[in-house]
Amino acid sequence: MEKLRRSMMFVPGNNPGMLLNAGIYGADTIILDCEDAVAITEKDSARNLVFQAISEINYGTEVAVRINHISTPFGWDDLKRILPAKPDLIRLPMCQGPDEIRQIDEFISEAEHKHKFPAGSIKMMAAVETPKGLRLAYEIASASPRMVALAIGAEDFIANLKTTRSKLGRELLAARGQLVLAAREAGIQCIDTVFSDINDEEGFKKELELIKEMGFDGKSVVNPRQVSVVHDFFAPTAKEIDHAQRVLAAYQEALEKKSGVISLNGKMIDLPIVARAERTLAYAKATAGKGGK
Amino acid sequence: MSKLLKLAQAGTVESSDILITLAPADAGTGIRVELVSPTMQQYGAHIRNLITKTLVDHGIEDVLVNANDRGALDCTIKARVITALQRAGE
């Protein structure tokens, strides 16, 4: 089972109180943010604080850093300062193409060599926030073996589309669909955008239902309160687990009897259904005791 | 860096943070730390030592430090001192 990334929680990189407590909410990944959550005059301050936090705090979960884009005056300085602390994952915002991924990949390789970290141990992910980035999503996803996920950043994307964000999310339907396809083709995970109205729990759940159906592996979150809601949604239900167990039992029985046709309750079972059942059980096992149902 | 070029500040007075102000000082002044902290009795000496050690590790010998602590942990104190130092040397 691949690493769970149901919830990726943003934490402002220049806020010591939030940074120190970030590990206690059970998010699968915490993203220490040097980009949008940090004022332009405090970028230096944030990267020093994020460096010290990663060096000295055992978060007990995957730690990512969202750097500033490498075309800004801050992106490369973020990497220079933070890589020696060995974050698990670097998240690039506003990715526009595979060249950016390759440049950062090379820079990380040099840092891994210099600091004697195992080669390839620092992973990468990229957020697509422009139509160009979306068009090149597969190339971005497959530009480096470090890439573990694609994400969509809705606010910038919607602004680029010249529309507004709605509760139903129709404006994002095509982009979300394309992103999932690109990520799946490249064999990596796909993470949905943040839902920023933390008081609209009903809207949040509707969006979770949609993205789970579409095939997303998880969601970026901005508030600790959202973490357990996301985990509940992504955990297989007791009914799904029961069905998966019965599918696998029927499949096993058919194998033993050397029967060519497998059926359960009168419905034919073929190999994709078996594969889905196996995935459901692996997911249930991986999420057990980690804030899932 | 062994000498500060200008007055510089880093951090905030929000909870769990520390506001560090560094001012250049004449040679021979040494590292002088003026500290305000709600945990002065328990951790005052520790905070002073940590600020001093971080400065010494960066080659600083003479500086006036004003530290307004709001319950910062070690990693925050170090990060704020380093940021103030970088800003003082720009």
Asked whether residue A84 is assigned to any structural domain, the reply reads: yes
Same domain as A106, residue A204: yes
Final residue in a domain of this structure, among A193, A209, A234: A234
Indicate the number of domains in chain A: 2
Same domain as A55, residue A124: yes
Q: Are A164 and A157 in contact (CB under 8 A)?
A: no
Domains and CATH numbers, chain B: 8-88 (3.30.230.10)
Q: How many Å apart are CA B35 and CA B80, to the nearest integer?
A: 14
Give the confidence band of A206 by pLDDT, cuts at 50, 70, 90. very high
Same domain as A30, residue A166: yes
Same domain as A242, residue A212: no
- Chain-chain contact of B17 with A16 (C-beta, under 8 angstroms): yes
SS3 A124: strand
Asked whether residue A1 is assigned to any structural domain, the reply reads: no
State whether ipTM is beyond 0.90.
yes
**Probe site for chain B from A14, A45, A55, A74 (most B CB atoms < 10 A):** A45
Q: Per residue in B57-73, pLDDT tens?
A: 999 999 999 999 999 99
Q: Which two tokens stand for residue A232?
A: 């509940």
pLDDT of A33 above 70: yes
Q: Per residue in A61-79, pLDDT tens?
A: 999 999 999 999 999 999 9
CATH number of the domain within which A64 lies: 3.20.20.60
Q: Are A179 and A128 in contact (CB under 8 A)?
A: yes
Same domain as A127, residue A259: no
Q: Are A128 and A140 in contact (CB under 8 A)?
A: yes
Q: How many Å apart are CA A219 and CA A4, to the nearest integer?
A: 11
- Chain-chain contact of A52 with B14 (C-beta, under 8 angstroms): no
Please report the pLDDT score of residue A271 as a whole number.
85
- Pairing type for strands A263-264 and A7-12 reads unpaired
Please report the pLDDT score of residue A253 as a whole number.
86
Same domain as A253, residue A121: no
Alpha-carbon distance A103 to nearest alpha carbon in chain B (angstroms): 27
Backbone angles phi, psi at A147, to 5 degrees: -70, 125
Same domain as A128, residue A20: yes
pLDDT of A236 above 80: yes
Please report the pLDDT score of residue A292 as a whole number.
43
Section A15-36 average pLDDT: 96
Q: How many CA atoms lie within 13 A of A3 on its CB side?
A: 19
pLDDT of A164 above 90: no
The angle formed by the CA atoms of residues B59, A39 and A42, to the nearest 5 degrees, is 5
Section A147-176 average pLDDT: 90
Section A220-237 average pLDDT: 92
List CB contacts (< 8 A) between A32 and chain B: none
Asked whether residue A264 is assigned to any structural domain, the reply reads: yes
Asked whether residue A50 is assigned to any structural domain, the reply reads: yes
Range of the domain at A255: 238-287
Please report the pLDDT score of residue B87 as a whole number.
96
